[in-house]
Structure 1
Amino acid sequence: MSAQTKTDLLDETERLRGEGSPEEARERLLALTAQYPDDAEVAYRTAVIHDVLGLEAEAVPYYERCLAKPELGTRDRRGALLGLGSTYRVLGRYGQAVETLRRGVEEFPEDGALRTFLSMALYNTGEHHEAMRLLLELTASTSEDPYVREYRRAIEQYAKDLHGTV
């Protein structure tokens, strides 16, 4: 195992996960975590595998650890913010979910998935108006449906005032 690089070992865990052996990937990632406790990418991959296995509570500290590291790559940071926010939501920690997902949307405003997950968390906190606004804006700006596109301006306008009094 010592002859392989960290990258090789991470690639091996991705292969295992892709081949339907996530528990074996998890075991290897936990070993890597012990070997590289301060590595952002190892922490991120360990968080993800816990989520894949439905072990959300166990994923949280790994997400938090990787997000605390400035060397976490942009793609992984985006994934970690979404993953942590979604995990908080699944665990019923709605306020933390909203906070994390808002941070994600601020950092990555073009990411529709982050905005979608934020709208779900907002719904859970009773912020229905903002949740609906986010979804309507996302629908208006990303839909390829010809009928949605035909009414895009109206949808965008009503997103600002759901009571229809704009």
Structure 2
Amino acid sequence: MSAQNRDEVLAEAVGLRTRGEAERARELLVALADRCPDDSEVAYQTAWTHDTLGREAEAVPYYVRALAGTDLPDEDRRGAHVGLGSTFRVLGRYEEAVETLRAGVAEFPDDGALRTFLAMALFNTGCHDEAMRLLLELLATTSDDPYVRSYRRAIGHYAKDLREVVADGP
């Protein structure tokens, strides 16, 4: 398949998905992914389209393929980490969700969406303290709410250990 033909089919499929014709987009992308098995971008778009259709289990191998490649642009890699991690979580594969999302956070430490989805997956694995810490740190560092901002320092402090108590009682 020529690069031009690949680009045309990919653009058509993304356009179809954008216009709400995800099933038709999925058909084009699955065929394209079969013809271009090492193409990370095609794999990512195919995974995303499966997710759009609620076909999470079918999205997984495409997300894995997309992340295995080295040619996926950073923005799409972020999306693939969130997509795969979230998909694992929805499927009840919580440990795999945590592993995927931790890898995403390691690669993109400033990505608040990755940290949020990691917190949800951590919650599902029973790691409530770490999940809460992640969310409080994210809230303290990114909130535009003036009241949250006024307590940013305290929220950041307590995020480290919500169980901290001061022993100066009567």
- Partner residue in 2 for 1:87: 87
Structure 2 runs not aligned, ≥5 long: none
* TM-score relative to the length of structure 2: 0.93
The structure 1 segments of at least 4 consecutive aligned residues displaced by more than 4 Å after TM superposition are: 1-4
CA distance in 1, matches of 2:117, 2:158: 21
Would you say 1:104 and 2:104 are equivalent positions? Answer: yes
- Partner residue in 2 for 1:152: 152
Read off the aligned partner of 2:22 and give its amino acid letter: P
- Partner residue in 1 for 2:71: 71
Read off the aligned partner of 1:84 and give its amino acid letter: L
Q: Shift of residue 74 of structure 1?
A: 1.3
Q: Which protein is bigger by CA-based radius of gyration? A: 2
- Partner residue in 1 for 2:17: 17
- Partner residue in 1 for 2:139: 139
CA distance in 1, matches of 2:119, 2:2: 45
CA distance in 2, matches of 1:137, 1:115: 10
Read off the aligned partner of 2:146 and give its amino acid letter: P
CA distance in 2, matches of 1:143, 1:36: 42
Structure 1 runs not aligned, ≥5 long: none
> Percent identity among equivalent residues?
67
Q: How many pairs does the alignment contain?
A: 166
- Partner residue in 1 for 2:8: 8
- CA-based RMSD of the aligned residues comes to 1.6
